[in-house]
Structure 1
């Protein structure tokens, strides 16, 4: 399940980059299609993340429990930041604040997922 989760969010970041490039090139319809595919990928990210959350909850230890909750919230925040980036860029608004949120949430998720929590990439 861990590898599916990593693959799904890696695909999400790739789709985000493709959608941004298409928007910058003025190709609104293909960008919209990629955006809709990215939204489907969000569902897969949430499903696999929820499954991992269940794995952690079956073996509750208090300090790790808090970190798992923070990682879940940061993951949802990351998805929201990705959505804000695409929506604001499609409307021609400034995306600086959304990019800052994206970077902060991504750092939190990566540090907690690969450094702090035991179900890293080695599972």
Structure 2
């Protein structure tokens, strides 16, 4: 299972593909059941690769951030919230309900997740 934790490439790739599929399904005027089913498979892959990275690197991150791994724990929580909001947006879109506040919350939660992920100490060190 070393391929899951040898780097963040697999995790980032699953996120990028999932976001592309999400935006395709979100802007489509009709319900794309097949795209949503594939997107749900990518949700599972994101959780598996993210969980493997979490288990592998949590102690290392905690030791480099003054003994606190809480930022990495928060990144996991916000990552799951991003997936949840992606699914809620698609479900509400298919039911024809309003989406405004969900898009705003999605963008905020996504940006927080992105910041926590990029400042976490593994992968790219942008912040």
TM-score tier, shorter chain, comes to: 0.7 to 0.9
Structure 1 regions of 5+ residues with no counterpart? none
- CA-atom RMSD in angstroms: 1.4
Shift of 1:113: 1.0
Q: Structure 2 matches for 1:91-102, cutoff 5 A?
A: 91-102=95-106
SS at match of 1:118: coil
Shift of 1:14: 0.2
Q: Distance in 2 between matches of 1:96 and 1:88?
A: 11
Shift of 1:19: 0.9
Pick 1 or 2: higher relative contact order, CA cutoff 8 A, min separation 6: 1
Indicate conservation of the 8 Å contact 1:89/1:95, yes or no. Answer: yes
Q: Structure 2 matches for 1:8-47, cutoff 5 A?
A: 8-22=14-28, 24=29, 26=30, 28=31, 31-47=32-48
Which is helix-richer, 1 or 2? 1
Shift of 1:91: 0.3
Asked whether 1:121 is paired with 2:127, we answer no
Indicate conservation of the 8 Å contact 1:78/1:101, yes or no. Answer: no
Asked whether 1:66 is paired with 2:70, we answer yes
Structure 2 regions of 5+ residues with no counterpart? 1-6
Indicate conservation of the 8 Å contact 1:19/1:34, yes or no. Answer: yes
Aligned residues: 115
